[in-house]
């Protein structure tokens, strides 16, 4: 499974990119607003750090505006993926952008029927929102499972499942178990994936035992 990070914070992206674990970045208007920076400058700077897909979201609500904004965003860097909402207008924009070879991430997916429509419109990525479904008492992982089953039934579907609205470590693991192609993870959650109490206690023991030997490697 590929790991994207869900942030527009340049310093966080720089730091996490050094692990070699980051395959891409997703942003949205909220994350851009939190950064306090210009959207074009932010996307341009992210694309200098990350060579994989970087999702940049349109803000227009009609297809004509989405297409115009999508072209502008894609011109920023060759690895930009234009993010559009899963609406009737969004799917029109997706189809038209894909016709001119601009990759598209269709976001705000909450049902398998929506995911099927996005795939038929040519979406590069579909972003089901796991956490937001959990918030209203549904199981977001069921949606990942349903989409995986549907997509696997058809060899001509190339849309990748990008698990979004990740809230916990278990969301990441369960998305992988259900066959999501990508998880876009907030930096805080990604850092938590490294941690386990037994890893820390084991390392403490090793270092204590090594200290008793009086040896040095360098």
Closest CA to 150 of 119, 127, 121: 119
Q: Residues 7, 32: contact at Cβ < 8 Å? A: no
Angle at 168 between CA 150 and CA 85, to 5 degrees: 50
Q: What does the alpha-carbon distance between residue 81 and residue 56 come to, in Å, rounded to a whole number?
A: 6
Residue of 2, 40, 83, 200 marked active site = 83
SS3 85: strand
Tell me if 45 sits within 8 A of 74, measured CB to CB.
Answer: no
Cα–Cα separations (whole angstroms), residue 142 to 3, 57, 70, 117, 179: 20, 26, 31, 18, 11
> Hey, CA dihedral for 80, 6, 141, 199, is it positive or negative?
positive
Does residue 2 have an active-site annotation? no
Q: Are 4 and 53 in contact (CB under 8 A)?
A: yes
Placement of tokens 């050094």 in the chain: 18
Positions annotated as catalytic residues are 83
């Amino acid at each position: 499974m590929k790991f994207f990070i869900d942030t527009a914070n340049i310093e966080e992206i720089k730091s996490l990119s050094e692990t070699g674990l980051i395959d891409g970045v997703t942003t949205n208007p909220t994350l851009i607003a939190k950064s306090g920076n210009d959207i074009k400058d932010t996307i341009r700077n992210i694309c200098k750090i990350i060579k994989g897909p970087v999702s940049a979201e349109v803000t227009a609500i009609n297809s004509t505006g989405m297409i115009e904004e999508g072209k502008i965003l894609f011109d920023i860097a060759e690895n930009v993926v234009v993010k559009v909402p899963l609406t009737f207008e969004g799917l029109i924009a997706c189809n038209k952008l894909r016709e001119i070879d601009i990759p598209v991430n269709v976001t705000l997916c909450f049902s398998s029927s929506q995911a099927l429509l996005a795939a038929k419109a040519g979406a590069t990525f579909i972003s089901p929102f796991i956490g937001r479904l959990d918030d209203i008492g549904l199981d977001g992982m069921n949606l990942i499972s349903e989409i995986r089953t549907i997509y696997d039934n058809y060899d001509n579907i190339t849309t990748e499942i990008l698990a979004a609205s990740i809230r916990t470590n278990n969301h990441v693991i369960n998305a992988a178990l259900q066959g999501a192609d990508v998880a876009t993870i907030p930096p805080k959650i990604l850092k938590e994936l490294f941690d386990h109490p037994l890893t820390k206690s084991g390392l403490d023991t090793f270092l204590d035992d090594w200290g008793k030997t009086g040896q040095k490697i360098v």
